[in-house]
């Protein structure tokens, strides 16, 4: 009995050691029973590795292949067939497998005829090859002219619309479009083109800017009076897919229409003393009377300026208190959502250091990076406009562009700090660990940019080179 138990244990250990993928692995195991359903009857590409557990090259491939499956996380199906299993021998024969491992891509075509993958067997290379097989035509690319037509067609049927700062739709978004192909159309609108935000306001009734994209909606109804479901969760495939299923099935209520923004009153234009004097003269006053009237007006203006200064201080105090209350409100909203167990927000999947989301152009985009890019472009345009009007004002143009950039960067820094303090985004939803890490990195980047701009300004003011100023700064800290 003892010898039999030892033998069984040895056989079990050998089988466990031979297994390429653990049962909980993200790589799907295929058999003749599930092959058609998982591979041939889907609309998205699938990569299948035909393997044998005793194969040394298969063992080398396994960790790389598993990384691909974990990092793509459903965007493309990653699976394998154990050709050493008698039940799966027919599959390996059907697809003419002659060596191990054999990797075959099943494209998103009707016939699903496989293509042999002969590239590098690294996670990066396999991922790049697989996501390139996601067809771009699965998503309809829109502009300000095509948006109303997209919404008008079958107005009672839901449509998915993404407004993004990325110039191209991400593999994840194309994958989601394939999941709903034939049922729900997917549209893509590039946010950084002229008049896009105005077109979105007119068609959807929502106000967007560079700080509020990417924005993902399910839209039902005609342009101007649609019903909207806005996605507010973690920007990952499984979370968005779950939200789409629930919202399209009517389990998520549409949002209330946005209140129209109040119109700003035009600010009065202040006249110069000379203009005031001329006005009093035209009214029939003598020179002496006109001068007296100007002095009186200046005294009254000084009083108004004092009042305005006091009002500005009060306003700043109120804004500071409002920011404090906003942070507290965000904290409460964040805690409330966590208590509800909102899986799309509370689930915190750690990001590996080698994730390939950059290559995949992850749907979340880089909100703060997009903001910085927009600020930089606008600052450059301001400088170019000044120079085009007067080429002699090149230095003044540089100073104005830097001032604009500093104001915008400081505003972004304050927003990041508020959200990190609250542990939630600007709408009260909890920040995941990867979002916090990304925001802190961008905070450091923005702070460094401010220091660089300040260094250049100091160098110009002292008529020294940036290198000389840098040496002086280092000397202050004895570095």
User: How many folded domains does the chain comprise?
Assistant: 4
Residues 201 and 82 both lie in one domain:
no
Residues 368 and 477 both lie in one domain:
yes
Name the domain boundary from 105, 131, 157: 131
Q: How far apart are CA 259 and CA 301, in angstroms?
A: 37
What is the torsional sign of CA 410, 322, 164, 149?
negative
Backbone angles phi, psi at 347, to 5 degrees: -60, 125
DSSP 45: -
**Beta carbons within 10 angstroms of residue 44's beta carbon:** 22
Residues 286 and 232 both lie in one domain:
no
Between 260 and 170, the higher pLDDT residue: 170
Q: What is the mean pLDDT of the chain?
A: 78
Task: Give 57-76 pLDDT, tens digit per residue.
Answer: 999 999 999 999 999 988 99
Residues 339 and 361 both lie in one domain:
no
Residues 359 and 478 both lie in one domain:
yes
Residues 217 and 281 both lie in one domain:
no
CATH number of 215's domain: 3.40.30.10
Name the domain boundary from 213, 248, 283: 248
Note down the domain range covering 62: 15-131
Tell me, what's the pLDDT at 329?
A: 65
206 close to 200: Cβ distance less than 8 angstroms: yes
| Chain mean position to CA 473 | 37
Q: Residue 68 falls within a domain, yes or no?
A: yes
Q: Residue 8 falls within a domain, yes or no?
A: no
Residues 119 and 157 both lie in one domain:
no
Backbone angles phi, psi at 369, to 5 degrees: -65, -40
Q: What residue has token string 């110069």?
A: 272
Residues 171 and 68 both lie in one domain:
no
Name the domain boundary from 106, 131, 156: 131
Q: Residue 173 falls within a domain, yes or no?
A: yes
Q: Residue 37 falls within a domain, yes or no?
A: yes
Residues 378 and 329 both lie in one domain:
no
Compute the average pLDDT of residues 328-348: 54
Q: Answer whether residue 292 shows pLDDT above 60.
A: yes
59 close to 49: Cβ distance less than 8 angstroms: no
Between 306 and 443, the higher pLDDT residue: 443
Q: Residue 461 falls within a domain, yes or no?
A: yes
Does pTM surpass 0.85? no
Q: Answer whether residue 111 shows pLDDT above 70.
A: yes
Q: Residue 253 falls within a domain, yes or no?
A: no
Compute the average pLDDT of residues 88-116: 94
| Chain mean position to CA 308 | 40
Residues 174 and 212 both lie in one domain:
yes
Residues 231 and 285 both lie in one domain:
no
380 close to 401: Cβ distance less than 8 angstroms: yes
Q: 471 falls in which pLDDT band (50, 70, 90)?
A: low
Tell me, what's the pLDDT at 426?
A: 67
Compute the average pLDDT of residues 245-267: 59
Q: How far apart are CA 280 and CA 297, in angstroms?
A: 11
Task: Give 395-444 pLDDT, tens digit per residue.
Answer: 787 888 888 888 888 888 888 888 888 787 766 667 777 778 778 888 88
């Amino acid at each position: 009995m003892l010898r039999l138990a030892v033998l069984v244990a040895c056989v079990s250990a050998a089988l466990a050691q031979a297994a390429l993928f653990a049962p909980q692995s993200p790589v799907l195991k295929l058999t003749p029973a599930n092959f058609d359903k998982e591979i041939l009857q889907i609309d998205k590409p699938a990569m299948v590795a035909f393997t044998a557990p005793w194969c040394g090259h298969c063992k080398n491939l396994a960790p790389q292949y598993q990384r691909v499956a974990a990092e793509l996380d459903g965007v493309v199906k990653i699976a394998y067939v154990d050709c050493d299993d008698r039940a799966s021998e027919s599959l390996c024969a059907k697809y003419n497998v002659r060596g191990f491992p054999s990797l075959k891509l099943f494209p998103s075509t009707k016939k699903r005829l496989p293509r042999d993958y002969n590239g590098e067997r690294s996670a990066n290379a396999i991922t790049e090859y697989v996501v390139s097989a996601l067809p771009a035509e699965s998503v309809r690319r829109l502009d300000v002219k095509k948006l109303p037509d997209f919404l008008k067609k079958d107005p009672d049927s839901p449509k998915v619309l993404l407004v993004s700062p990325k110039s191209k739709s991400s593999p994840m978004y194309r994958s989601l479009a394939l999941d709903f192909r034939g049922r729900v159309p997917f549209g893509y609108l590039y946010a950084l083109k002229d008049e896009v935000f105005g077109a979105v306001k007119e068609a959807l009734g929502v106000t967007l800017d560079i700080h509020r994209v990417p924005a993902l909606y399910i839209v039902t109804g005609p342009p101007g009076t649609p019903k909207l479901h806005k996605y507010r969760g973690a920007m990952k495939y499984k979370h968005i897919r779950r939200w789409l299923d629930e919202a399209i099935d009517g389990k998520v209520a549409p949002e209330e229409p946005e209140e129209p923004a109040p119109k700003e009153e035009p600010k009065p234009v202040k006249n110069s003393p000379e203009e005031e004097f001329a006005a009093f003269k035209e009214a029939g006053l003598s020179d002496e009377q006109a001068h007296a009237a100007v002095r009186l007006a200046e005294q009254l203006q000084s009083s108004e300026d004092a009042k305005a200064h006091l009002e500005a201080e009060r306003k700043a105090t109120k804004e500071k208190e409002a920011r404090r209350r906003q942070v507290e409100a965000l904290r409460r909203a964040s805690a409330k959502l966590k208590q509800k167990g909102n899986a799309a927000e509370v689930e915190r999947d750690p990001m590996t250091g080698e994730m390939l989301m950059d290559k995949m152009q992850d749907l979340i985009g880089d909100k703060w990076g997009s903001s910085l890019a927009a600020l930089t472009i606008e600052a450059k345009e301001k400088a170019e406009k000044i120079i085009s009007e007067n080429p002699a004002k090149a230095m003044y143009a540089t100073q104005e562009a830097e001032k604009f950039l500093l104001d915008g960067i400081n505003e972004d820094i304050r927003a990041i700090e508020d959200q990190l303090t609250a542990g939630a985004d600007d709408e009260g939803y909890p920040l995941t660990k990867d979002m916090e890490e990304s925001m802190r990195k961008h905070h450091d980047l923005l702070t460094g940019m401010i220091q660089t701009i300040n260094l250049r300004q100091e160098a110009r003011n002292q008529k020294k080179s940036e290198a000389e100023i840098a040496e002086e700064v280092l000397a202050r800290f004895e570095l």
